[in-house]
Amino acid sequence: MKKETEARVIVFTSEAEMPMMPASVASTLYNKTGSWRYMRPLYKNQTPPCNAACPAGEDIVMHLQLTAQGRYAEAWETLVRENPFPGVCGRVCPHPCESECNREYLGGAIAIHCQERFLADYAAAHHLSLPTTNVPQREEQIAVIGAGPAGLSCAYHLRRMGYQVTVFEAGEKPGGMMRLIPEYRLPKEVLEREIAAIIALGVEVKTGMRLGVDLALKDLQGYAAVFLAIGQSVSRRLDVPGEDAVGVLHGIDFLARVERGQKVDLGKKVAVIGGGNTAMDAARTARRLGADVTILYRRSRAEMPAIDEEVHETLDEGVKIEFLRAPVAVLTANGRVRGLRLTRIELGAPDASGRRRPVPVAGSEYELEFDTVIPALGQVADLTFLSAEVQTERGRIITDEKTATTRLPIFAGGDAATGFGTVTAAVGSGKRAALAIDSFLRGVERPFPDLAQNVQVAPRPHDPNVVRFEDLNTAYFEEIPRPPQDQRPAAQRVTTFQEVNLGYGEDVALAEARRCFSCGTCNECDNCLIFCPDVAVLRGPSDDEPFVFNYDYCKGCGICVSECPRRAILFAEEIKFNDQ
């Protein structure tokens, strides 16, 4: 009897056909045990928590999978399909993905930002060009206002879709706020390379063109659509006496001057006011310029918006942080800063942001001497050039979930629309706008999750359910610690603007990628195939369909579902499929 692949039902009709003893003449393939099933397993990738948390809509699990196979170029391509700034984001993103990573409970979250940076550095070292898309060129011209992360991301994605894109930038160079991130955190070379790669795709960037000054909205009527990504350029004021004295230098202005290579005389003692990343950047930059730096923050450590690692690194570098302090006046002498009058703060009831409101303690004021005061309290957008048709609210341009403003075909994104956010959020916002503009111009419907959720240009089929730790079968995972990233020692750091974090080498990146649980995403661990008692799991035809169920025979025992380490198989009531 040959090995069978087809079901054969045997009916004996003559003596000669039937063996003399009960000997088999066919296989049990005749018996379609799939009819027993009342629950059906389904290969359906679910949403990994990192992907769900990424403001730029990166497919993190997939690039980690590719890295884990040593397929670095493909991993990088997967990454840049969603975000053209992996080198930037890998260095400066506060990585909300890692905060959600299920690996946290078994050795620490995957160092996703290091992986991203590794891939960007790999691409640079191997001179990889951004992948081009093979789509027909479109005639529509699109204007993007602002060459920050939102504007460039939008321009990048529109260009990939075949649109002709011109970016108008007020500054001398494209980059927006990214340009103000100090060299020791984000080497300019990395930024320039990623911007140049976008321009190389055929995006036109016109610098020195400030909307409202060098051009007006009405000048853009020839464009099929306009994307406003003007950012927030006006620093918030301290609103205390003496604020305009010489020696008061707002954080972004300070960082911009350093970036441009201008000499800044800080004196000896510098106060930085604020608790965000700009405050940390200003403080650490001042420290590198030789100053004795104190950060004054009106809330406590827990409320600080700066990235945790940044705060640690800042402290390591000898910057002092005083919590629950707020300036009540800038003390001046001869029009120059000589110090600050400060008040102690108590935290009261939570405010609208959910953080406890700072309340000055009566009679607690005291003075400290400073040569320079750097307020870093955030920025607001300058929206004065907008006509009334583009409505705003509390300093932000109003948009719907598709980034459309109240006047089409004007779209808006980035900080000017969403409020202050990260580079990565701006990248996501720009991508969302690109997709929205494309939908608008082509008149096609595209699903847009609400603004709180990310959006991808190349989404894999997946279930929106986000996989949590308790959904995993942890029997298949060992506790493996997250490898630390090499760092320059603090003592060395304060003497130089050289990069602090040194990233992962290939070996570490490979091992780290393999530490990924690949939540909700099949990586062909083979468990379903191996544990099926009924040989009803077969290898599939493609990477997109690595396994298929043979529903003719699957009895619906659910072993594959429970033994899938990563919850990439759903279990659904069979009755739902009766019509198929």
Output the smallest distance, CB 562 to other proteins, in A: 4
The window from 31-39, 86-94, 204-212, 253-261 that contacts other proteins (CB under 8 A) reads 31-39
**28, amino acid identity:** T
Of 525, 570, 572, 574, the one binding other proteins by CB under 8 A:
525
Binding mask 36-75 for other proteins (x = CB under 8 A): xx---------------------------x--xx------
Token representation of residue 516: 């990924």
Of 314, 332, 403, 523, the one binding other proteins by CB under 8 A:
523
Residues 277-336 that bind other proteins (CB under 8 A): none
Give the count of beta carbons closer than 10 Å to the beta carbon of residue 389.
11
Output the smallest distance, CB 65 to other proteins, in A: 8
Look up tokens 């406590």; give the residue.
300
If binding is defined by CB under 8 A, does position 3 make contact with other proteins? Answer: yes
Output the smallest distance, CB 563 to other proteins, in A: 5
Output the smallest distance, CB 453 to other proteins, in A: 28
Judged by DSSP in three states, 134 sits in coil
If binding is defined by CB under 8 A, does position 25 make contact with other proteins? Answer: yes
If binding is defined by CB under 8 A, does position 559 make contact with other proteins? Answer: yes
Nearest to 388 by CA among 407, 403, 370: 407
- CA-CA distance, 295 to 364, in Å (whole number)? 19
Asked if residue 565 lies in contact with residue 517, where contact means CB atoms within 8 angstroms, the answer is: yes
Element containing residue 337 per DSSP (H, E): strand 336-350
**2, amino acid identity:** K
Residue 20: CA count within 13 A, CB half-sphere: 0
Count of chain residues binding other proteins (CB under 8 A): 62
CA distances from 481 to 313, 411, 515 (A): 21, 45, 9
Output the smallest distance, CB 105 to other proteins, in A: 15
- CA-CA distance, 270 to 286, in Å (whole number)? 7
Sign of CA dihedral 73, 183, 177, 320: positive
If binding is defined by CB under 8 A, does position 128 make contact with other proteins? Answer: no
Of 532, 549, 567, 568, the one binding other proteins by CB under 8 A:
532
The window from 127-135, 140-148, 392-400, 527-535 that contacts other proteins (CB under 8 A) reads 527-535
Binding mask 462-481 for other proteins (x = CB under 8 A): -------------xx-----
Output the smallest distance, CB 547 to other proteins, in A: 9
CA distances from 337 to 234, 269, 281, 289 (A): 22, 11, 21, 18
If binding is defined by CB under 8 A, does position 26 make contact with other proteins? Answer: yes
Of 369, 400, 552, 573, the one binding other proteins by CB under 8 A:
552
- CA-CA distance, 258 to 180, in Å (whole number)? 9
Asked if residue 281 lies in contact with residue 408, where contact means CB atoms within 8 angstroms, the answer is: no
Asked if residue 511 lies in contact with residue 114, where contact means CB atoms within 8 angstroms, the answer is: no
CA distances from 298 to 107, 310, 356 (A): 34, 18, 11
Of 491, 535, 548, 575, the one binding other proteins by CB under 8 A:
535
Binding mask 258-277 for other proteins (x = CB under 8 A): --------------------
Q: Is 271 left (phi over 0), alpha (psi -120 to 50) or beta?
A: beta
Element containing residue 442 per DSSP (H, E): helix 423-442
Backbone angles phi, psi at 455, to 5 degrees: -145, 145
Asked if residue 371 lies in contact with residue 267, where contact means CB atoms within 8 angstroms, the answer is: yes
The window from 15-23, 100-108, 333-341, 387-395 that contacts other proteins (CB under 8 A) reads 15-23
Return the number of the residue (316 or 534) whose C-beta is nearest other proteins: 534
Q: CA angle at residue 103 from 101 to 106, to 5 degrees?
A: 150
Output the smallest distance, CB 566 to other proteins, in A: 9
Of 193, 563, 570, 572, the one binding other proteins by CB under 8 A:
563
If binding is defined by CB under 8 A, does position 1 make contact with other proteins? Answer: yes
The window from 27-35, 49-57, 193-201, 388-396 that contacts other proteins (CB under 8 A) reads 27-35
Return the number of the residue (491 or 538) whose C-beta is nearest other proteins: 538
If binding is defined by CB under 8 A, does position 565 make contact with other proteins? Answer: yes
- CA-CA distance, 119 to 98, in Å (whole number)? 17
- CA-CA distance, 48 to 102, in Å (whole number)? 9
The window from 26-34, 143-151, 335-343, 500-508 that contacts other proteins (CB under 8 A) reads 26-34
Of 138, 357, 488, 514, the one binding other proteins by CB under 8 A:
514
If binding is defined by CB under 8 A, does position 482 make contact with other proteins? Answer: no
- CA-CA distance, 383 to 478, in Å (whole number)? 53
Output the smallest distance, CB 506 to other proteins, in A: 15
- CA-CA distance, 215 to 225, in Å (whole number)? 16
If binding is defined by CB under 8 A, does position 7 make contact with other proteins? Answer: yes
Output the smallest distance, CB 536 to other proteins, in A: 6
If binding is defined by CB under 8 A, does position 15 make contact with other proteins? Answer: yes
If binding is defined by CB under 8 A, does position 35 make contact with other proteins? Answer: no
Q: Angle of helix 277-288 relative to helix 251-259, nearest 10 degrees?
A: 50
Asked if residue 414 lies in contact with residue 230, where contact means CB atoms within 8 angstroms, the answer is: yes
Output the smallest distance, CB 470 to other proteins, in A: 15
State the residues that interact with other proteins by CB under 8 A.
1, 3-4, 7, 10, 12, 15, 18-33, 36-37, 65, 68-69, 475-476, 514, 518, 523-527, 530-536, 539, 541-543, 546, 550, 552-553, 555-559, 561-563, 565, 571
